Chain A
């Protein structure tokens, strides 16, 4: 280690240098506060021994400069002084000194105190090394997470079903961790569209991987898609499966005890008949869908267990005949549970009010308005993912 002795009096310099060198350290000497400041800036100093009364900058002022201007904690500072009063001792520590020793000092006591400094520096350096390692590892992990986050972003709907009888819209705002939410709107055959929002417990890599897996199982393209039944002989695609069966299948596949991550998820999934406007939907522990008709909006609470809790859970199917102008909203709990700075939830009432007030706005604008309002509510930093999916029935289908 390297020690800097800031001392203008020759016998103290000789004594301190002998102690420092006797301990196997290098000793630099500065004979004034200014010289000490320069030497400190020019060298990595581990141990700093400073006399209180110096020509120019005083010992305590030098300690303050070092602590405040460089902010360093990697230097152990010991103030040495002939001052014997209590106020001086307190001032030394207040200035940022680690220890304080009165002159004349016993060389053995000085050595013992410097050993404390050595231990401090050793611990500090070991910790700094580990912090640097962690920072590197963290940097790498961050890159991986960004890649994962991009994969997830790619899974969001790129193209919405184009039907003259219905409009669709969605918004997704992942929180800072990797998202545990995923959503989709897809047309699975000539006549049907599927909408869903799901929320895997927790955030980060495990939740994200799970949501990617689920997104694939709930796609229209994959031939193992849970959304489609077995094709009839001669047919290429199978018929759409009822939402409650899809949920039951998911529940059979994803039981909490089966994986190490012990995850579960909530999902709300709706199947819309684009000819009739008949909506069939099921929920597994997910926040209730919102049905808006004319100026009114209500939450359709349908309590059920999340996927993964109980192996043979059954899920109910609910139906709703949409009228022209009706809107149907699905969302994740990140919306009503978004917390304000004071910890107050955004809440169902604000959500409903917002939906009602946007009734005349185009569907996509209405969702944007809700997403922005929730984001503002949580000061731009939502703690959970915000997912919104909506359908609007135009009608004119050949029911």
Chain B
């Protein structure tokens, strides 16, 4: 199955394995804790995206939090999406709603990647 190959770290571009190595070294237990925390952050925020469409300040704060968490974890795609949304809101760009949707998608993708990584041996 393809899933077998997916379990090598290089196959998870959503999370930077080099960064995880810096953070946890060979402490698998801590790595699992960290990934669990990250997944929970992503899911928690992704679940509130509808509310954010109406509350700009809350959305910006959430994007900032996601940016911090994703940078911690080397989740570069999510970090980039959060930054793009922040920039769009600050500039009053018309495509802020699109950016928000993209951010939500990236958050869910990052959550999935964290869960997969956590479950891999």
Contacts and interface: CB of A to CB of B under 8 A. Distances in A.
Interface stretch (B59-67, B88-96, B100-108): B59-67
Interface residues of B, number: 20
A347 B46 CA distance: 83
Contact of B72 (A8, A11, A55): A11
A11 B69 contact: yes
Contact of A107 (B23, B67, B73): B23
Contacts of B74: 104
Contacts of A140: none
B72 A53 contact: no
Contact of A13 (B19, B23, B37, B64): B37
Contacts of A15: 23, 34, 72
Nearest to B38: A11
B19 A9 contact: no
A10 B40 contact: yes
Interface in A73-104: 82, 103-104
A12 B30 contact: no
A104 B30 contact: no
B22 A9 contact: no
21 contacts: A8-B65, A9-B65, A10-B38, A10-B41, A11-B34, A11-B38, A11-B73, A12-B68, A13-B37, A14-B33, A15-B23, A15-B34, A15-B72, A53-B64, A55-B61, A82-B71, A103-B71, A104-B71, A104-B72, A104-B74, A107-B22
Given A11-B73, A14-B37, A82-B67, 14 more contacts: A9-B65, A9-B69, A10-B38, A10-B40, A11-B37, A11-B38, A11-B72, A14-B30, A14-B34, A82-B64, A103-B71, A106-B22, A107-B22, A107-B23
Interface of B: 19, 22-23, 30, 33-34, 37-38, 40-41, 61, 64-65, 67-69, 71-74
